[in-house]
Amino acid sequence: MKHAAGLGELLRYTAELVDQGAEQVYRDMGLNYRARYTPVMRALAGGARTVGEITEASRLTQGAISQTVGLMIEQGLLRRQPMAEDARKSALVLTAEGQALLRRLEPHWSLIFEAIGRLETEIGHPLLDALEATARALEQRDFAQRLTDVRGLHQ
């Protein structure tokens, strides 16, 4: 039985297609780099120092960020160091290898945003704006409440 893909399915599939394309380009560049590292790398480049700050900057879950950070530490891109203001907490710091990788990636990221802009032109929709507006609306009123409201209309 065939059914139309739902919002969650389309979002995951689209993200998968974007990540696959990005990872192919990273391989072509000779990089051992996974697309899932990008939110962490971009947040660190923007001044984030902790998992919490990266979570806030990227809007991804703390669990997803922690898992990615673990992979990046294993790969030698990040290390933890005690924070000067509170030695019980640790900051995430790019290793020399991570810093070199960041220098290679930053120009590439601007090309990614250009490619996204071209995709938006092709499909005739400002995809990033629409996703940002959707996220803001769901932050204001979550999907569970919206679903509860609709269920109430059908009782």
User: What distances in angstroms separate CA 103 from CA 23, 59, 108, 121, 152, one per listed residue?
Assistant: 17, 24, 9, 29, 53
pTM here?
A: 0.85
The token duo for 141 is 């009123």
Closest by CA position to 155, among listed 147, 7, 6, 144: 147
pLDDT band at 2, cuts 50/70/90? confident
pLDDT tens-digit profile of 39-96?
A: 999 999 998 899 999 999 999 999 999 999 999 999 999 999 988 887 788 899 999 9
As a CATH number, domain 7-124 is 1.10.10.10
